[in-house]
A and B are shown apart, each in its own frame.
Chain A
Amino acid sequence: MFAIPRTLMGILAGCLILAACGGAASTEDLQGVVIDPPQPKPEFTLTDTSGNPYDFVAETEGKLTLLYFGYLNCPDICPVHLAQIAETFDRIPDVARDAEVVFVSVDPERDSPDEIRAFLDNFDERFVGLTGTLEELEAAQVAAGVPTAVFVGEGDDYTVNHAAQVIAFAPDGLSHSVYPFGVRQTQWNNDLQVLAELGS
């Protein structure tokens, strides 16, 4: 007599568990370059565009965080990354609301805090801009595990060879993936939503 209702209840319970687990984000869903094992956040403190100290680990705690090292005279790579992220955020405002994008200028000679602020405002006024001394910036790059920037050429026209990947940290505080240059907008759109769910 109770066999059928029990079976039904069992099926229902199974469906509920599947529904609960099926929506969980997994690093397997990421389309960027997956970091295995995930890496902790680099510890560094630099100066934001208002002149205040910015402790990277403390300021980004619990947030989906994107970290990128670049410079303002870079017309080809840096703006593309930042524009893609900004445009993706426009499409997923719920994710963007709790996310932090941190752009570190590795060219303190040319990039003043005001210029960094104006540069970032082209994309999204919420993006954080950081600067520091050459030594501080080099230490931050080493901590983040990226090659340190190299200055090529002389005079005002020098260029800067710098790490081209964006490092993504999920709300769990770990870097699960990086995004080299050439990432498509669809990948950003997918991965930022997946990352936002990891450890949140």
Chain B
Amino acid sequence: MRSLLWLVWLAALTATACGGGSGGGIDVSDVRVAEPTGPNAALYFTATSDVEDRLIGAETAVASSAQIHQTVVGDDGTMGMRPVDSLDVAPGERLVLEPGGLHLMLIDAERVEVGDDVEVTLIWESTGRQTVMAEVVSPGETMGHTDG
């Protein structure tokens, strides 16, 4: 019994350490926010889900608001952003927020620094509120580059 408790505690600790979060079958991982270099900062993550749901908003104490944005490429090759109302998740699909695509834009972000952890609450239409931890990384690191 004692070893079982130990295992449960270890599993809980591991889940916390990984910085992800699970809310009613929605698994959120690789949560990272670019160290703010201007008024706003971008937050990225990957979500998988056992249920159909819809991300309808987000909140964090380190920004005045958080908006879902998509970077889009124009016909003339320019890139710009447009707000998105919601993002769907469904079983068997991956919702990926990454540079050059979808992101949560943290408006008027505080000057958090590389290495800091930021608490972010994702608001799902059915599941409700899900709190995850985001690691602050250099903007260059948000691409997930690996070049040794």
Point out residues on A near B: beta carbons under 8 Å: 72-80, 82-84, 86-87, 115, 119, 122-123, 147, 149-150, 152, 159-165, 181-182, 184-186, 189
Q: Mark B61-79, 1 if CB is under 8 A from A, else 0.
A: 0000000010101101111
Point out residues on B near A: beta carbons under 8 Å: 34-42, 69, 71, 73-74, 76-82, 99-100, 103, 105-106, 138-143, 145, 147
Smallest beta-carbon distance A116→chain B, Å: 10
Contact status A150-B105, CB under 8 Å: no
Contact status A76-B78, CB under 8 Å: no
Q: How far is the CA of A72 from the CA of B108 in the complex (A)?
A: 12
- From known contacts A185-B140, A189-B147, infer whether A122 and B100 are also in contact, taking CB-CB under 8 Å: no
Q: How far is the CA of A182 from the CA of B38 in the complex (A)?
A: 20
Smallest beta-carbon distance A101→chain B, Å: 14
Contact status A162-B80, CB under 8 Å: yes
Besides A161-B74, A186-B147, 14 new A-B residue pairs in contact (Cβ under 8 A), listed by A number:
A73-B40, A74-B38, A77-B99, A79-B34, A80-B100, A84-B143, A86-B140, A119-B37, A122-B37, A147-B77, A147-B78, A159-B80, A161-B80, A164-B78
Q: How far is the CA of A77 from the CA of B101 in the complex (A)?
A: 10
Smallest beta-carbon distance A175→chain B, Å: 16
Contact status B105-A161, CB under 8 Å: no
Contacts of A119 in B (CB 8 A): 37-38
Contact status B145-A164, CB under 8 Å: no
Contacts of A149 in B (CB 8 A): 78
Quick one: which of A76, A162, A181 has the most chain B CB within 10 A? A76
Contacts of B140 in A (CB 8 A): 80, 83-84, 86-87, 185
Q: How far is the CA of A115 from the CA of B40 in the complex (A)?
A: 13
- From known contacts A87-B138, A181-B100, infer whether A75 and B40 are also in contact, taking CB-CB under 8 Å: yes
Contact status A164-B38, CB under 8 Å: no
Contact status A80-B147, CB under 8 Å: no
- From known contacts A75-B34, A159-B81, A161-B78, infer whether A186 and B145 are also in contact, taking CB-CB under 8 Å: yes
- From known contacts A152-B80, A164-B77, A164-B79, infer whether A184 and B99 are also in contact, taking CB-CB under 8 Å: no
Specify which of B38, B142, B147 is in contact with A73 (CB 8 Å cutoff).
B38
Specify which of B81, B138, B147 is in contact with A76 (CB 8 Å cutoff).
B81
Smallest beta-carbon distance A191→chain B, Å: 13
What 7 pairs across the A-B complex have the smallest Cβ distances?
A: A161-B80, A83-B140, A79-B139, A164-B79, A83-B139, A72-B38, A186-B147
